[in-house]
Structure 1
Amino acid sequence: MNLKVLPTNNKLKIFNDPIYGFITIPNSLIFDIIEHKYFQRLRRISQMGLSYLVYPGAHHTRFHHALGSMHLMQKAINVLRFKGVAISNDEENGLLIAILLHDIGHGPFSHAMEHSIVNDISHEEISLRFMEELNAEFNGSLTLAISIFKGVYPRKFMCELISSQLDMDRADYLKRDSFYTGVAEGNINSERLITMLNVVNGHLVIEEKGIYSIEKFLVARRFMYWQVYLHKTGLVAEQLLTRILKRAKELVSSGVELNCSKALLYFLNSEINGDHFNDKTLGIFAQLDDYDIVSAMKDWQNHNDFVLSNLCEMIVNRDLLKIKLKKKPILSSELIAHSNLIMDKYKISKTEADYFVFKGKISNQAYENKKQQISILLKSGKIKDIAKVIDQLDLKGLSKPVTKYYMCYPKNKM
């Protein structure tokens, strides 16, 4: 029996968001983009990857984040217009669509795909491919949004609202991730920051009275990276997931049959990079989400391959590798000892042992002063970099990358 869906003209819907309250959809074009299967897929992509293994509440999705970022962009546009900055209706639409779709290219568990079964193509590049596909489908309605997203639109402050050190992306994810993890130190006042926005000489600035809000924003960002985004348990879980996909790809390429979804099998069977990411690949990528990976891991934990089964069982049952963080680079001799131990115990090769014993490094920089500055509009009308006017914060410390080195190896009971 075919169900007939009755047409509806009510496209000005609202979402009830736990962070901001009601979020309104401003027009029918944005409603149709949100309704599209490409965007609905974001409901099945975790915002924080495997961080729920550390913070049980961190199950929010890229869908949540995209809507929240659009909501903040609406507020930013209203604030700037109130202060006399001319923004046309077309530019407003372009800004809202660009921020709504800025993360649409993320793969399962957000970042793991970029380092395993897809090579040399970032989620930003895939987002652009999705936007171009949607632009063709919506008869060129996304052309301005794409220009802003790519950073080539001549009114640079609009590009900065999408991607800068004080963009609507960061303004949402810090507050949202703080809420869902329960890490209160990351709870920034996004609305206060937006109220302080202005435009001078075509670029985004913060009014002088917003200095202390910026201080809190930078400190919160640094804290969230060490405490949440680079938490050692989340870090080892993501490394394990990357290695699961790498091992699966290795097995499939050698003729081993693995049970998984058709979409995942396509990427395991193919060498995909930026040059080979065509329309067919994009369509299959759009079918891939967290559920494909979780389902595969649940099945693969019973596979007869020692490496694949053990890696999958570690994540499924949250029995992860041990991880140690150090301020100095890890010596190769430290790895060799653990590697020899597991090789002798399980009679596996050095190549197989390397999946369980490895090292790496992580880096955190709260304020990238050399890349792009946060400009402060003083009451005198002068523009200065925040580093020259801030008085409470050691901005040099926040501007300096802090690197830590890690080593992962099995627990004794493996």
Structure 2
Amino acid sequence: MITKKPNKLKILNDPIYGFIQIPSTLVFDIIEHPYFQRLRRITQMGFSNLVYPGANHTRFHHAIGCMHLMQKAVRVLRFKQVAISQEEENALYVAILLHDIGHGAFSHALEHSIVNGVSHEEISLKFMQKLNIELDGKLNLAIQIFEGNYHRKFFYQLISSQLDIDRLDYLKRDSFYTGVTEGNISSDRLIAMMNVKNDELVIEEKGIYSVEKFLIARRLMYWQVYLHKTGLVAENMLVNVLKRAKELADEGVELYASSSFKYFLYKPIIKDNFDDKTLEKFATLDDYDVLSAIKEWTNHSDKILSLLSKMIMNRKLLRIEIQQEEFKNQEVLTKVKEVSKKLKLTEKEAHFFVFTKRITNQAYQQEKPIFILNKEGKLKDIAKASDQLNIQALTNPVVKHFICYPK
């Protein structure tokens, strides 16, 4: 009997780029792995769908889109006589595919709430190392590139820099799914203008306006989407729900949660005790665990937990005020006193409903420059090469302060 080998060189249909080809059997095996399939259950934009109802796309969409753009980048650079071997090409696809695999439930919102002091990049690396063992060392080079240890610096810049493949996909994708057209960058043109000079990833001079548009789009997407006031409130309330749940768990209070979620609620996880067992538990934790628990917690006997959970589930969020200056302590204290009286809570407990934080938006960091390659073969930082004054202005971080309190 002849056993037919499965076809692993599939084609996927993406609403933004059209058909995306899986470039190798190794990439196919990684996509099929449960670690990667979990990304289907983690939203790319947390609670942004409370503002933009279409923003329900996942980390899975984003990772596949990044891999597609990396294929284009490799083709462009090879066409410009940049030598990239078959092994390096595959490693680039694997590294960009797995760059976000360490994101936990609700992505950035719960990054330091579920696991303390371990970034999603560090968890991504742990997943890559585990997959590497399973795949007999086939990820060695991809891990080297991901960590920035490979001798060809521009490979790392394609994965992580101010004009990397990650940003080229998420800006275009988030703009598409939210309907915020200001973020719609020309990723095709930016990739077509890429080149390598002195081992640096650079953009050719004729692509300068595309880079300017990219930086401005990034700034506008931060204010309009990623730092939108309603999204900020919802994400901070989610953090507070988890904070309260952990307090109750520490006191031994019984909480409804899936087994993997319970593991992180009842056991404080830090860098030192993040072992293989923790990684396996983390690999089964996603948005569904958190949402189903919050839905159940709306009926919990703890007033703070149930009230915050109800507010999130029914989108009856806290009020938010944003301003340039810091809020005065007295102002915050007055609100805390009002809330503690109204909800019959202690002042410490009222802080779950009244809190202040700051947000920063810096579209361009000059310490990691985007270089423009002119016709003479010289490199110039975009902030100096641009004839637009606002690129220089984008290097200044804009800081704003906000306060949240019940309506």
| TM-score bin, normalised by smaller chain | over 0.9
TM-score by length of 1: 0.97
Query: CA shift at 1:274, angstroms?
Result: 1.2
2:203 to 176, 199, 206: 206
Answer yes or no: is 1:390 the counterpart of 2:354: no
Residue by residue over 1:281-307, the C-alpha shift from the partner in whole angstroms, topping out at 9 and shown as x without a partner, is 000000000000110010001101111
**RMSD of equivalent CA atoms:** 0.9
Distance 1:79 1:14 in 2: 21
1:192 to 172, 176, 189: 189
TM-score by length of 2: 0.98
Which residue matches 2:401?
405
Answer yes or no: is 1:292 the counterpart of 2:289: yes
1:283 to 280, 288, 297: 280
Match of 1:199, SS state, is: strand
Which residue matches 2:32?
35
Query: CA shift at 1:190, angstroms?
Result: 0.2
- Corresponding letter in the other structure for 2:383: A
Which residue matches 2:261?
264
Q: Tell me whether 46-55 or 334-343 shows the greater mean CA deviation.
A: 334-343
Match of 1:97, SS state, is: helix
Query: CA shift at 1:314, angstroms?
Result: 0.9
Answer yes or no: is 1:62 the counterpart of 2:59: yes
Match of 2:189, SS state, is: helix
Q: Tell me whether 169-178 or 109-118 shows the greater mean CA deviation.
A: 109-118
1:96 to 93, 98, 103: 93
Distance 1:49 1:199 in 2: 35
Distance 1:197 1:340 in 2: 57
Match of 2:201, SS state, is: strand
Distance 2:340 2:63 in 1: 46
Match of 1:302, SS state, is: coil
Distance 2:385 2:113 in 1: 43
Question: Conserved in 2, the CA contact under 8 Å of 1:356 and 1:410?
Answer: yes
Question: Conserved in 2, the CA contact under 8 Å of 1:215 and 1:393?
Answer: no
Distance 1:360 1:387 in 2: 30
Residues 1:101 and 1:47: Cα distance change in structure 2 (over 3 Å): same
Which residue matches 2:330?
333
Distance 2:34 2:247 in 1: 31
Distance 1:118 1:202 in 2: 36
Pairing 1:162-311 to 2, within 5 Å after superposition: 162-311=159-308
Distance 1:320 1:34 in 2: 37
Q: Tell me whether 374-383 or 60-69 shows the greater mean CA deviation.
A: 374-383
Query: CA shift at 1:397, angstroms?
Result: 1.1
Distance 2:371 2:392 in 1: 16
2:143 to 146, 157, 168: 146
- Corresponding letter in the other structure for 2:375: K
Which residue matches 1:128?
125
Which residue matches 2:370?
374
Q: What stretches of structure 1 of length at least 5 have no aligned partner?
A: 1-5
Which contiguous aligned blocks of 4+ residues in structure 1 show a shift greater than 3 angstroms? none
Question: Conserved in 2, the CA contact under 8 Å of 1:116 and 1:243?
Answer: no
Question: Conserved in 2, the CA contact under 8 Å of 1:197 and 1:205?
Answer: yes
Which residue matches 1:3?
none
Query: CA shift at 1:7, angstroms?
Result: 6.2
Answer yes or no: is 1:364 the counterpart of 2:371: no
Distance 1:274 1:196 in 2: 41
Distance 2:190 2:132 in 1: 32
Match of 1:128, SS state, is: helix
Residue by residue over 1:127-185, the C-alpha shift from the partner in whole angstroms, topping out at 9 and shown as x without a partner, is 00000000000000001000000011110000000000000000000000000000001
Query: CA shift at 1:9, angstroms?
Result: 2.3
Match of 1:50, SS state, is: helix
Query: CA shift at 1:201, angstroms?
Result: 0.6
Match of 1:43, SS state, is: helix
Distance 1:311 1:375 in 2: 47
Distance 1:393 1:10 in 2: 53
Question: Conserved in 1, the CA contact under 8 Å of 2:56 and 2:177?
Answer: yes
Distance 2:309 2:85 in 1: 51
